[in-house]
Amino acid sequence: MSLEPVVKASDKLKEMLNEAISRELAVSVQYIWQHVQVMGVKGVAVKDLFKKVSISEMKHAEAIAERLWYLGATPTTKPAPIIVGAGLKEFLELDVKAEEEAIQLYRQIIEKAHKEADFTTARMFEGILEEEEGHHDLFTTMLEEL
């Protein structure tokens, strides 16, 4: 009985999944620190949203790591650079940028997975992409209201 995964993925796709994990780890820390550090009346009104999105991002990191492990690669433990910011407006500007970068990367991963006939990875990232677009919408809406 073989313990090798049934689906083989290219090194490039595995590299892209590790990049996704690295980004998810970074933003989960970024958003939870923003939850902790946000101040003022407007900050108190939205602080729990940072926490909620942070938890969502950590769940993404876990799901991607499990998929990468199945595909025969070791998930990274190193987050991308973490930039928390100073104050609610900067928090949200950084968060919008982070979500836009994730959306771009995840569209590329979906395309690459389809090309490799790795439909499971593609479907997984389609679900994550939908959530990331929701986070982007949340952060851009919050930014407009400042």
pLDDT of residue 3: 59
How many distinct structural domains can be found in the chain?
1
Residue 85 has pLDDT above 80, yes or no: yes
For position 50, which CATH number holds? 1.20.1260.10
Residue 6 within any structural domain of the chain: no
Dihedral over Cα of 52, 143, 85, 40: its sign: negative
pLDDT tens for residues 87-104?
999 999 999 999 999 999
Whether the full predicted model's pTM is greater than 0.85, yes or no, is yes
Higher pLDDT, 71 or 6: 71
Residue range(s) defining the domain that contains residue 90: 11-144
Residue 1: inside a domain: no
Question: Per-residue pLDDT for 73 more than 60?
Answer: yes
Answer whether 28's CB lies under 8 Å from 83's CB. no
The whole-angstrom separation of Cα 51 and Cα 84 is 13
Q: Would 3 be classed as within a structural domain?
A: no
pLDDT of 5 higher than 70: no
- So what's the pLDDT on residue 57? 98
